């Protein structure tokens, strides 16, 4: 029985070593794409127009109270990424993939301008104000990829999935004509997953190209909310705010008019940070010009 078990282990070791110890077709891939948020991640607007009670003739532009609480109000942005791939078999069908990516949203939305009110008692003066909002992700991914017709060395579809480690950061900046420029930031580290599919074509022994689509589930694990902690309050001039993507409550003053210094409690719903990307990429085959070693 022991001899049979040892022989089976030896056979499995030889088979795996012969089939999966190739590692001779490393590929570097560099890509750029358009990133589109979905679900709770996207939003129509991160600002809101509201009348000023003391003077109904004024309209004030403020940060929408739904920002962070119910949505991250992200809009179309861009994606940059670089991947390293290594084959598990001599036909380059099964691959391990490591990826570093940077995604920036709200790229094509201009600043939102309006007015807020400053009190010079007994008068209320309209002050021009401008808001900018950015949301970014710096991610690292590890996964597997299958290219069923890669052995042709011409054209092949590919499919893959990665575990991703994401560092999200959102920043709102407020500017006025009184040289008052101040920001509020919130961030968080999350674990997610990426689904990837595309078509690659090889133009020469060393270069090729690919087009594809990715779908990111950015915060599957490690969601959290400040749970009414004043240490994580989201306020102007602070950069330590919580991402608040789980159910709970937190305090903030970024939706206030400038004349209101108070902090208000907001209820956060559980939110998904999901987005899709359409991309084009350049492939560089590191050993493309290397001649195979002839067996004696």
pLDDT for 261 equals 80
Q: Which ranges of the chain does DSSP label H, i.e. alpha helix?
A: 2-20
How far apart CA 189 and CA 200 sit, in angstroms, is 32
CB-CB neighbours of 65 under 10 Å: 16
pLDDT for 13 equals 43
pLDDT for 293 equals 52
E-only strand ranges, the chain: 27-38, 47-51, 59-63, 77-87, 94-105, 112-120, 123-146, 155-176, 181-202, 207-221, 241-242, 248-252, 264-268, 274-285
pLDDT for 8 equals 46
Mean pLDDT by 10 residues, the chain (296 residues): 48 45 81 96 71 63 89 94 93 93 90 76 76 94 95 92 97 80 92 97 92 97 84 85 92 84 90 97 84 54
Beta pairing class for 181-202 and 241-242? parallel
Contact 127, 118 (CB under 8 A): yes
For 31, the token pair is 């890509």
Distance in angstroms between the alpha carbons of the first and the last residue of the chain: 38
How far apart CA 30 and CA 153 sit, in angstroms, is 19
pLDDT for 269 equals 92
How far apart CA 247 and CA 268 sit, in angstroms, is 5
Contact 152, 168 (CB under 8 A): no
Nearest alpha-carbon partner for 214 in 5, 35, 70, 19: 35
pTM for this predicted structure: 0.84
For 56, the token pair is 């109904």
CB neighbours of 168 closer than 8 A, spacing ≥ 6? 135, 136, 137, 187, 188, 189, 190, 218, 219, 243, 273
């Amino acid at each position: 029985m022991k001899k049979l078990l040892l022989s089976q282990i030896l056979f499995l070791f030889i088979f795996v070593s012969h089939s999966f110890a190739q590692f001779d077709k490393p590929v570097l891939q560099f890509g750029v794409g358009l990133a589109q948020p979905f679900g709770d991640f996207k939003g129509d607007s991160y600002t809101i127009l509201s009348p000023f009670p003391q003077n109904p003739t004024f309209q004030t532009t403020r940060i929408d109270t739904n920002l962070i609480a119910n949505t991250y109000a992200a809009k179309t942005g861009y994606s940059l990424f670089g991947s390293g791939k290594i084959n598990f078999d001599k036909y380059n069908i099964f691959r391990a993939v490591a990826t570093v990516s940077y995604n920036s949203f709200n790229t094509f939305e201009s600043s939102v301008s309006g007015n807020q009110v400053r009190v010079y008692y007994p008068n209320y003066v309209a002050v021009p104000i401008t808001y900018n909002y950015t949301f970014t992700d710096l991610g690292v991914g590890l996964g597997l990829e299958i290219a069923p017709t890669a052995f042709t060395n011409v054209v092949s579809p590919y499919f893959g999935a990665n575990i991703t480690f994401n560092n999200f950061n959102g920043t709102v900046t407020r500017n006025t004509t009184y040289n008052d420029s101040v920001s509020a930031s919130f961030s968080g580290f999350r674990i997610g997953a990426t689904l990837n599919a595309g078509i690659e074509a090889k133009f020469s022994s060393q270069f090729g190209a690919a087009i594809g689509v990715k779908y990111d589930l950015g915060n599957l694990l490690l969601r959290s909310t400040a749970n009414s902690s004043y240490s994580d309050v989201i306020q102007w001039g602070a950069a330590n705010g919580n991402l608040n993507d789980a159910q709970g409550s937190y305090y903030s003053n970024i939706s206030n008019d400038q004349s209101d210094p108070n902090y208000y409690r907001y209820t956060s719903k559980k939110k998904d940070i999901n987005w899709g990307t359409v991309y084009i990429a350049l492939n560089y085959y590191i050993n493309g010009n290397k001649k195979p070693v002839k067996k004696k």
